[in-house]
Structure 1
Amino acid sequence: MSDMELAELWVAVAFFVFVGILLYNGVHKALAKALDARGARIAAELDEARRLKEEAQKLVAEYKRKQREAEAEAEAIVTAAKAEAERLAAETKAKLEEFVSRRTRMAEDKIAQAEHQALADVKAFAADAAVQAAERILAASVPGTATGDRLLGQAIQDVRGKLN
């Protein structure tokens, strides 16, 4: 055997002796225990990650539900606001129409009253003018007798009563 082969043989022997010492001292058990512990820790971390993922999915679902509820509530508020605005617009329109109608009626009443008053004033003026004219005519045609004055006064009263 050559030196090279001999060196390889001693390396192999040393390796097997080293492994034997490790096995004798129970290093393989400690190594297996460490690997098992690491596997358990990884499994626990995976379980925790799975639990966190499920929790996150629940939170996402809850937030989506809340978002849908908020959108529905916002839509309901907008719909209610539109309905309220339409109701107020209709109410305002009705009040405005009623106000305009009332003001028109009041104006028409004032016009009718003014027409009636003007007609009464014209009649009164005409009656006064007729009475004055009748007084002048009768005074000129009937000379100053007591019977004539009495008849004249009575005629004037009759004319006033009929014209007013």
Structure 2
Amino acid sequence: MSNLFLEPVFWFAVSFVLFFVIFGPKIWKPLSGLLDARADQIRLELDESARLRREAEQMLEDATREREQAYAEANALIEQTRKQAEELANKARLDAEDMLRRREQMARDRIAAAERAAIEEVRAAAVDAAFEGARLVIQQSLPAQSSTDLVDSAIAGLPAALSSRAA
């Protein structure tokens, strides 16, 4: 055992133990205080991280819900726009068909008016031709004196002819 006291390792171990026995409580209290403070700080950071995570998850849920609502609104808007486009297309088609019918009727009316005008022109030309033909026939077949007598007798009989027609 005497040999043990001569070993430097022994004295190093003894000094190490004495150092911690004497100065240990003085060093341990500030060291444990630092460690406790660091543990408290880490605990606070973990709590803050958990709170931030909950907020982030809530924001994600809100964003997801808002996205779904926006998607639903967009789909409703698209559907409404599609219906309005169909209604406008139907209205435009009906208006075009109505306008086409009106123009067709106007064209038919113009054709009918043109036909009536053409018939009237043909009748007028036929009447003119008939009068001219009758005038030529009468002029060639009657002498000048008898035509004057014929006109005078027609004028004299005109009041009687008019009164018999009126009755």
TM-score interval, smaller chain: 0.7 to 0.9
Unaligned runs of 5+ in 2: 156-167
Q: Distance in 1 between the 2:152 and 2:130 partners? A: 18
* One-letter amino acid matched to 1:8: V
> Counterpart in 1 of 2:149?
147
**Distance in 2 separating the partners of 1:71 and 1:102:** 46
Q: Which residue pairs with 1:85 in the alignment? A: 85
Give the direction of change, closer, same or farther, for the CA distance of 1:103–1:3 in structure 2 (3 Å limit).
Answer: same
Give, in whole Å, the separation in 2 of the partners of 1:151 and 1:139.
17
1:158 is matched with none
Q: Deviations over 1:58-85 (max 9, x none)?
A: 1111111221122222222222222222
Structure scoring higher RCO (CA < 8 A, sep ≥ 6) equals 1
Corresponding pairs, count: 153
Cα RMSD (Å): 2.3
> Match of 1:21?
22
Unaligned 5+ residue runs, structure 1?
A: 154-164
Deviation at 1:53? Answer: 0.4
User: Relative to structure 1, is the Cα distance of residues 136 and 80 closer, same or farther in structure 2, using a 3 angstrom cutoff?
Assistant: same
Matches within 5 A, 1:42-53: 42-53=42-53
Aligned partner of 1:156 in structure 2 is none
- 1:36 counterpart residue number: 36
Structure 2 length normalisation: TM-score?
A: 0.80
Q: What corresponds to 2:69 in structure 1?
A: 69
Q: Percent identity?
A: 34
* 2:158 corresponds to: none
